[in-house]
Amino acid sequence: MNEHYQQLVQLVKEQAGRNLRSAFCYDADDWTALYVRTDLATDDLQSAVPSLAERARSQEPLVRNRDYPGLGEQRASVFLHENAVLVQFDEPETESGIVLTLDSDVARNLSQFVAECETVLADPQRRQ
């Protein structure tokens, strides 16, 4: 899959450390596990990812820019669960994206975290 996803995973490892749970990228046809923390690498997770990728592909923003431009373009989707935070960066023009899962305590500085991730996605050379 795309090299900028690998660079994003590296950034998240540096920033979140052991709080990074997993990273999966997807395109229109397939998905790839880029990172799975060893304690989470189970058959249950393996069997759950295909349906997660399917839902990620069909994700539509709650507020579309054309419906209400006052919010601006959607940058990422964040899903907070009891034990984890999922952050999805969708690239609709290529029907691809990446889903990161992190331990729930990383949500404290989520806005700054998303902005740093976007920098890597937009210009991977800035991380080198």
Q: Where are the alpha helices (DSSP H) in 1-128?
A: 3-16, 43-57, 110-122
**Listed residue (41, 61, 44, 63) closest to 52, CA to CA:** 44
H or E segment at 26?
A: strand 20-26
Question: Can you tell me the distance from the alpha carbon of 4 to that of 82, in angstroms, rounded to the nearest whole number?
Answer: 29
Query: Domain residue spans in the chain?
Result: 3-127
Task: Encode pLDDT of 93-128 as tens digits.
Answer: 788 999 999 998 887 777 678 878 888 888 877 665
CATH architecture of the domain formed by 3-127: 2-Layer Sandwich (3.30)
Q: pLDDT tens digit string along 56-71?
A: 888 778 888 889 999 9
